[in-house]
Amino acid sequence: MEQLVRIKQTYDNGTALVVHLRESACSGDCHKCSGCGAAKETVLLTADNPIGARRGDLVKVTSATAPVLKAALVLYILPLILFFLAYWLGDVVWGRGALPGCLGFVLGIGIVVLYDRKVMRKADIRYTITGFAEEPKSVRKEEHNHG
């Protein structure tokens, strides 16, 4: 998984603190769809800096995709699987599947919450700066207009 980030600070141990502006689900183009009101979130990450990037540089950062895919699987698929499984079992055993299906979905959400807490404690995703990125034209224009 590759993202564009800005270097906030560098350290002597070969790492850097980087800032990632997480856009809304609609990619932040709110002006194109009359605005959704979704807030942008600033995320600070520590990344290995083998290319020697400096403060203020726009760089590409990569991370392993396996933990992200595993989290997505748990988050999106598990509650649905438990819903359909419980619905089917409820229908076979009691002749009514809606209530057991809903309970299965709630169980899936509970498992997701527990998994999220476990992952947040262990958060072992390594980020690596892999190269310099070119400034988007819109960012360059804004910096020249404000500076």
The secondary structure of 120-138 as a DSSP string is HHH----EEEEEE-PPPHH
| Whole-number pLDDT of residue 140 | 47
**Could you give the CA distance from residue 115 to residue 123 in angstroms, rounded to a whole number?**
12
**Tokens of residue 87, six digits:** 């619905």
Q: Is the pTM of this model over 0.85?
A: no
Q: Establish how many alpha carbons lie within 13 A of residue 46's alpha carbon, considering only the half-sphere containing its beta carbon.
A: 7
* Amino acid type, 146: H
User: What tens digit of pLDDT does each residue of 65-107 get?
Assistant: 777 777 777 888 999 999 999 999 999 998 888 999 999 999 9
For position 41, what pLDDT does the model report?
78
Rounded distance, CA 144 to CA 147, Å? 5
- How high is the pLDDT of residue 103? 95
**Domains detected in the chain:** 1-64+125-147 (2.40.50.140), 65-124 (no CATH)
Q: List, for the chain, all residue ranges whose pLDDT scores fall below the cut of 50.
A: 140-144, 146-147
pLDDT of residue 28: 52
